Amino acid sequence: MTAPSRAQAPGNEARIVDDIVEKARRAQRTFANADQQRADEAVAAVAWSLYKPENARAMAELAVKDTGLGNVEDKVVKNQRKTFGTLRDLMRVKSVGVIEEDPAKGIVKYAKPVGVVAVVTPSTNPSATPVNKAMMALKGRNAVIVSPSPSGLDTTTRTVELMRDALKRINLPADLVQVLPGASKEMTAALMKSVDLVVVTGSQNNVRAAYSSGTPAIGVGAGNVPVIIDESADLDEAAAKIQASKCFDNSTSCSSENAVVILDKVYDQAIEALKRAGGWLASPERRETIRMALWPQPGKLSRDLIARDALVFAERIGLPDDAKRAKFFMVEETGVGKAHPFSGEKLSLVLAVYRAADFHAAKERVREILDFQGRGHSCGLHTRNLDRARELAEDLDVVRVLVNFAHTFGNGGGFNSGLNFTLSMGCGTWGKNSITENLNYKHFLNITHLVTPIPEDKPSEEELFGHLWTKYGK
C-alpha cells in the first residue's frame, strides 16, 4: 500500500494529521495479517467498551450534556442495541482469507484490508457511531481515525479512549483507533486526503467534502421518512409503532418518521389512534406558532428546539397544558417544498400529517416528499395488503420500504428485521451516495479474485441474437 501524498492544511494541522495517520499505518501493518479469531477478538473488545452497562450510560449522559440532543435513557438503549446487533452480524461472517468460493465459475474470493479509514461522525450519535464504524473497520483488519462533530467532541474523544483501552487489554495496538484532537474543518479535510477510505455519517456538507477529497468515500443521504397508513391497517398498532419510533431519542435518527400520509377512509380514526398513542394535534393557529418557533429563519431549524423532550418543546413554544402532556406533536399539512417546511426533516417531535384520497394519491404524496428531501433513503407502510408494499418497492426511488415497522427500529437493523445493524443508511445515486444498502463490513474490505479455468461457456449467435433477428431481422 503506497502512502498518500502529504495533506495540505494551514499551520500545524497538516503535521498533526500526518503524525496520526502514520501511527495508524504502523498499527494497521501489525494487524493486517491477523487471523479471523484475532480480528473477531478486536471487534468484540471494542463492542464491549461501549456495551458495558456503566459505559453505555456514562457515554449517554455525556452525549446529552455535550450536545443537548436526545435523551439519556434512549441513548443508553442505542449505545447497547446498535452495538450488540452489529456484533451479532459481524460474528456470523468471514472477513479474513477465503470468504467465498464458486466452483462453477472457478472463482475464489480472498478478503484483504483497505488500510486506514477516516470516519466522520455526527453530533446526534457521538458514541454509538464511532464504535459502530470501528467494529466494521476492525472486522476487515483496518485502522480507524475518527473525526468528531464539534458539539460531540468530548463524548467521541472519551468513547475512543474506551476503545483504545479495550484494544490494549487484548494486546493489540491502541493506535488502531484514534481521534482527531479537535474538530476543525481544515483538519478533517486534511485527514480525508491522507487515508485510504472515508466514511461519513452526518451533514450533507461533510458527505460532499468526502466525495470531493480524492479518496474513495462512502457517504449517506438525508433522511425525511414518510409513512402511509392505509384502510386495512391495525390503526392502534400503527399509531403505537409510529409513536415509539418518532419519540426514540427525541427524533434524532435519520430513520424517524417525519410525515404520515393517511388514506381518507380512515383519516379521522387514525388521528384518534395517534392521539391515544400520545400525539397532540395542533390547531391551525398553534401550527403557525410551532412553525415560527421551529424555523426562526427560513430553512434553518432552531437549535433550541430540535431533539428536545416533548415537555421542553411545548414549554419553550408556549403550547397549552394539554400539549405539555403529549409525547409528540402533529401538524396537518397540504403541501410539499420550501414553502411548506413541515414537509422536510424536522429533527424534533413534530410529525406532519397528510390526508390522501386513496392509495395512489398517498404514493404520489410520498414521492413528492422524498423528491423534496430524503430521496433514496426510505419510506414505510402500515397495511395488511402486501401487494401495496410491493407497489411502493417497485415504483419509488428508495433503498428501503418497511412494512408494519416502527421505522427507527427496523431501518438501521433490528432483531425482527433482516437488514443488518448500522448507523449509516446508503441512499444510492438518488441520494448522491455510492451504496444502495446499509453500511456494513463488506464496505471495509478489498477483495482478491482467484480465477481458474472452467469448461467453456460460449453460447451460439442464435441463442444471443435470435430474438432480435426474429423481431427485426438481421
Q: What does the angle CA 328 – CA 332 – CA 333 come to, to the nearest 5 degrees? A: 125
Active site residues: 254
Radius of gyration of the chain (CA): 24
Residue 461 lies inside a defined structural domain of this protein: no
Range with lowest mean pLDDT among 115-119, 203-207, 315-319, 452-456: 203-207
129 and 266 share a domain? no
Can you give the CATH number for the domain in which 43 is found? 3.40.605.10
The torsion defined by the Cα of 75, 380, 238 and 421, in degrees rounded to 10, comes to -30
Reply yes or no on whether the pLDDT at 9 is more than 60.
no
121 and 58 share a domain? yes
Interatomic CA distance for residues 211 and 214, integer angstroms: 7
Reply yes or no on whether the pLDDT at 5 is more than 70.
no
Confidence of residue 271 (pLDDT cuts 50, 70, 90): very high
Reply yes or no on whether the pLDDT at 1 is more than 60.
no
| Order of strands, sheet of 217-219, starting from the edge strand that comes earlier in the sequence | 177-179, 143-147, 116-120, 197-200, 217-219
Residues facing residue 144 across a β-bridge:
117, 177
Confidence of residue 183 (pLDDT cuts 50, 70, 90): confident
Q: What does the angle CA 166 – CA 66 – CA 59 come to, to the nearest 5 degrees? A: 30
190 and 131 share a domain? yes
pLDDT for the residue 182: 83
**Which grid coordinates belong to 133?**
464504524
**DSSP secondary structure, 279-320, as one string:** EEEPPHHHHHHHHHHH-SBTTB--TTTTT--HHHHHHHHT--
Confidence of residue 10 (pLDDT cuts 50, 70, 90): low
63 and 175 share a domain? yes
**Tens of pLDDT along 126-167?**
999 999 999 999 999 999 999 999 999 999 999 999 999 999
Reply yes or no on whether the pLDDT at 175 is more than 60.
yes
Query: Are the C-beta atoms of 143 and 175 separated by less than 8 Å?
Result: yes
pLDDT for the residue 7: 40
Of 221, 226, 224, 225, which is closest to residue 365 (Cα–Cα)?
Answer: 226
Residue 7: CB atoms within 10 A of its CB come to 22
260 and 134 share a domain? no
pLDDT for the residue 12: 83
365 and 237 share a domain? yes
Residue 415 lies inside a defined structural domain of this protein: no
Reply yes or no on whether the pLDDT at 118 is more than 70.
yes
The mean pLDDT value of the chain amounts to 95
Mean pLDDT of 100-115: 98
Number of domains within the chain: 2
Interatomic CA distance for residues 26 and 268, integer angstroms: 63
Can you give the CATH number for the domain in which 309 is found? 3.40.309.10
Confidence of residue 260 (pLDDT cuts 50, 70, 90): very high
Q: Provide the 3-class DSSP secondary structure of residue 467.
A: helix
145 and 248 share a domain? no
197 and 285 share a domain? no
pLDDT for the residue 446: 98
Residue 123 lies inside a defined structural domain of this protein: yes
Mean pLDDT of 184-194: 94
Reply yes or no on whether the pLDDT at 3 is more than 80.
no
pLDDT for the residue 202: 79
Mean pLDDT of 397-426: 97
Mean pLDDT of 110-137: 97
Reply yes or no on whether the pLDDT at 51 is more than 50.
yes
**Parent domain of 38:** 13-220+439-450
209 and 286 share a domain? no
- Which pTM was predicted? 0.94
DSSP 8-state symbol, 438:
B
20 and 131 share a domain? yes
pLDDT for the residue 203: 81
Q: What does the angle CA 96 – CA 138 – CA 69 come to, to the nearest 5 degrees? A: 150
C-alpha neighbours within 13 Å on the C-beta side of residue 40: 13
252 and 142 share a domain? no
204 and 235 share a domain? no
Interatomic CA distance for residues 150 and 148, integer angstroms: 6
Mean pLDDT of 450-470: 97
Reply yes or no on whether the pLDDT at 361 is more than 90.
yes
Residue 380 lies inside a defined structural domain of this protein: yes
Q: Which residue has the higher pLDDT, 10 or 208?
A: 208
pLDDT for the residue 11: 60
Residue 391 lies inside a defined structural domain of this protein: yes
User: What single letter denotes the amino acid at residue 63?
Assistant: A
Residues 6+ apart with CB under 8 A from 32: 113, 141
